[in-house]
Structure 1
Amino acid sequence: MKTSFFTIVLLSLFLSLYPSLSQRCNKKDEKILLRIKKSFGNPDVLTTWTKEIDCCSWYSVQCDEYTDRISALTIFSGNISGRITEAIGNLPYLETLILRKLTNLTGQIPSSIAKLTKLKTLTISYTNISGPIPSFLSQIKSLATLDLSYNGFTGTIPPELSLLPKLRTLRLDRNRLTGTIPESFGNFTGRLPAIYLSHNLLNGSVPQSLAQVNFTALDLSRNRLMGDLSVFFGMNKTIKAANFSRNLFEFNFSNLNQFPESLSVLDLNHNRIYGSLPVTLTGLKLQTWNVSFNRLCGQIPTGGSLQKYDSSAYFHNQCLCGSPLPAC
């Protein structure tokens, strides 16, 4: 009895010294989070999500230090199943939403997510979320990162995504998207975007409008895209990483005489590119380089990074020669 009374006194004293620990959780947010937990099947990974524990201390939950409202929800892995409930749109202070490696998560992205006007990072990745990529995501003007990679999305890429003014990273790779790259992607108002569209079923030519955009990274690999890639290069560009491998690109590489100094990754393997390798490639510090399985001819220029790669970066071309391949 004495021990119990002593414990209560200590607890009361502790809470009086640190009242924020007992009062911090916003009850509206707590209610929404419990609805989210229920929609996910009350999984073991969310066992801390109970009314007995302040919701700002729950696993995968973060509260803003000034408003004490839920600012981040980041759930990685776990035995979560079910769908994303519409209730998730009722967390008005949410800035980060990450649902990753939840392979039993199904359904589609709920329209209520468009209500999250403070959201900066939206990641739904490595799940079984499917259906079309919704155009209403373009209403979240605060988005800087949109990562919908490794899911089951189908249909075409919404052209409205180019309207996101603060977008820096767009990942739609590893889905089953079809159709062409939207012409509107040449009008990105976001600053220096990095775009990843690899491992889809995209086809058609790359829009010439993309010449207007300064990308930092661009991955279009493993699609069925065609056309000329020269729109992405030039001394005024800032691209650092470009992966165009395993497509149907067909153009004269000899005509590319200028490359941005920032370019360190260039992968063009398994295309239909012809002509010779420009001497200006020797001025690049390439960390990744591959032009194998094309239709290139002529001597490999000497210098720079071109000889630090073995023959696998060059083989299966029409008539390339010179180190590291046999002499011309």
Structure 2
Amino acid sequence: HQQSLPNMATPLLSFLFFTTLLFSAHSELCNPKDKKVLLKIKAAFHNPYVLTSWDPDTDCCVDWYIVTCDPTSNRINSLSVVTGSLSGQIPAAVGDLPFLETLDLHKQPNLTGPIPPAIAKLQRLTFLRLNWNNLSGPVPDFLSKLKNLNFLDLSFNNLSGSIPPSLSLLPNLNALHLDRNKLTGRIPYSFGTFSKVPDLYLSHNKLSGPVPTSFANMDFNVIDLSRNMLEGDASVVFGSNKTTQIVDLSRNLFKFKLSKVKFPKSLTSLDLNHNNINGGIPVEMTALNLQFLNVSYNRLCGQIPVGGKLQSFDYSSYFHNRCLCGAPLPSCK
């Protein structure tokens, strides 16, 4: 009697095993369209180690790394590769994940080629970071179609050509990083017409020409135009009614009178080193709560006003000017 027990148990176990299989097949959260696209992306990148978890027999919402699914719709809403190594170009298939809100490809030195036009199909995208890669070609005009973007970072690549004026049409942008590329031409006039003013990072490029006069209307919280070949009067970025905190105009060819600038009271960091800025340091600067200041390597003259934070910086913040004097520099004769 006891010997027949295992024989009875076997069909029962197999039955349980198959119903479990059947149930799991039907209960997969991953959308089959999304899974197909992700496997296409994996193949386009030549099945890299970082995408090993992307196994067609497992659930992309449960078992796959690097992607996340929306808890309600179970559609892929995030693709983020910030470790490991991808090589090749960004495949057009990324544009076939219609529920994607975050696309983040970061520190992938073997990621080359242009930014694919298919990205313009990702209408729900709010966060696009393609930085520290080896991408080339232009900053694409079609990015202006991604109306929900609030963060756009294409920094540390080999992007060239001019900046598309249409980026100012992005109505929800909090930050725009185009720094450390090989961009040329002028800063678009339209960048003085953002409806929501982003933090603007354009440093370490080859931009030339003047700062657009339209910047007089823009209250940037952060603006970094350093290490370009920009020229003329950059004082339009300032203004007594603005709430700007950080301004970096260093290492350009700017020429304007510092004594005539109206500074925002909110300013905490000001870097103007290596330009052709003249005049003197206005006494109004003693009222600023500056954490950082560098006006070295310019053509400034006269006494450094005493007070506020101006004496808390050492001589290297002021040296190599035409005839600036007073603490922390040697006293005026």
In structure 1, what residue type is equivalent to 2:117?
S
* Residue 43 of structure 2 corresponds to residue 38 of structure 1: yes
Unaligned runs of 5+ in 1: none
CA-CA distance at 1:301 after TM superposition: 1.1
* Structure 2 partner of 1:235: 240
Select which of 279, 285, 288 maps to 2:292: 288
- Deviations 1:203-262 (CA, angstroms, capped at 9, x unpaired): 011110111111111000000001212211122112111100000000111101x32122
In structure 2, relative to structure 1, the CA distance for the partners of 1:275 and 1:56 (3 Å cut) is: same
The answer to whether the 8 A contact 1:84-1:110 is kept is: yes
* Residue 66 of structure 2 corresponds to residue 60 of structure 1: yes
The answer to whether the 8 A contact 2:210-2:234 is kept is: no
Secondary structure of the corresponding residue to residue 307 of structure 1: helix
Q: How far apart in 1 are the matches of 2:194 and 2:249?
A: 20
Q: How far apart in 1 are the matches of 2:107 and 2:239?
A: 38
Select which of 93, 96, 109 maps to 1:90: 96
TM, length-normalised to structure 2: 0.92
* Structure 2 partner of 1:275: 279
Select which of 247, 250, 267 maps to 1:245: 250
* Structure 2 partner of 1:117: 123
Q: Which is worse superposed, 246-255 or 51-60? A: 51-60
The answer to whether the 8 A contact 1:21-1:54 is kept is: no
Q: Which has the larger Rg?
A: 2
* Structure 2 partner of 1:221: 226
Q: How far apart in 1 are the matches of 2:25 and 2:295?
A: 60
Q: How far apart in 2 are the matches of 1:221 and 1:11?
A: 65
* Structure 1 partner of 2:266: 262
Unaligned runs of 5+ in 2: 1-5
Select which of 121, 128, 132 maps to 1:126: 132
CA-CA distance at 1:197 after TM superposition: 0.4
- Deviations 1:286-307 (CA, angstroms, capped at 9, x unpaired): 1111000000011111111111
Give aligned pairs, total: 324
Post-superposition, which runs of at least 4 consecutive aligned residues in structure 1 deviate over 4 A?
5-16, 19-22
Task: Provide the identity percentage.
Answer: 55
In structure 2, what residue type is equivalent to 1:292?
S
Select which of 300, 307, 315 maps to 1:311: 315
Q: How far apart in 1 are the matches of 2:22 and 2:284?
A: 68
In structure 2, relative to structure 1, the CA distance for the partners of 1:34 and 1:327 (3 Å cut) is: same
* Residue 132 of structure 2 corresponds to residue 137 of structure 1: no
| Root mean square deviation of aligned Cα | 2.3
- Deviations 1:53-89 (CA, angstroms, capped at 9, x unpaired): 2112311111111111111111013121011111111
- Deviations 1:181-208 (CA, angstroms, capped at 9, x unpaired): 011111112x231010000000011110
* Residue 292 of structure 2 corresponds to residue 320 of structure 1: no
In structure 2, what residue type is equivalent to 1:213?
M
Q: How far apart in 1 are the matches of 2:20 and 2:45?
A: 37
